[in-house]
Amino acid sequence: MLKEIKINTIILTILLVLIIAIYLLAENKANSSFTIITSLTAVKFIAISFQFMETKKANFFWKILVSLFVIAFLIGVFVLS
């Protein structure tokens, strides 16, 4: 139990750092920031889904489905931009 709390705290800290990084990149308005922001958003989605939604303990089908969703999201964003 203590190990899981420690891991959750680390993941939460990483997510907060990623949120701050995305905010600073969005305020910077650089040309390459769109790609970085989109990639960081995908990393955040994977971290939340596997750690806090406990997809890592779920059936293999759900792991593949989450991964395919992230890939479809990235492809859709980069094609439409």
**Would you tell me the crossing angle of helices 60-80 and 33-47 to the nearest 10 degrees?**
170
Q: Which residue has the tokens 């899981």?
A: 4
pLDDT tens for each residue of 21-80: 999 888 887 777 788 888 899 999 999 998 888 888 889 999 999 999 999 999 998 898
Whole-number Å distance between alpha carbons of 38 and 19: 12
Reduced to 3 states, what is the DSSP secondary structure of residue 36? helix
Q: Which helix (H) or strand (E) holds 55?
A: none
Tell me what pLDDT residue 2 has: 86
Q: Domain extents for the chain?
A: 2-80
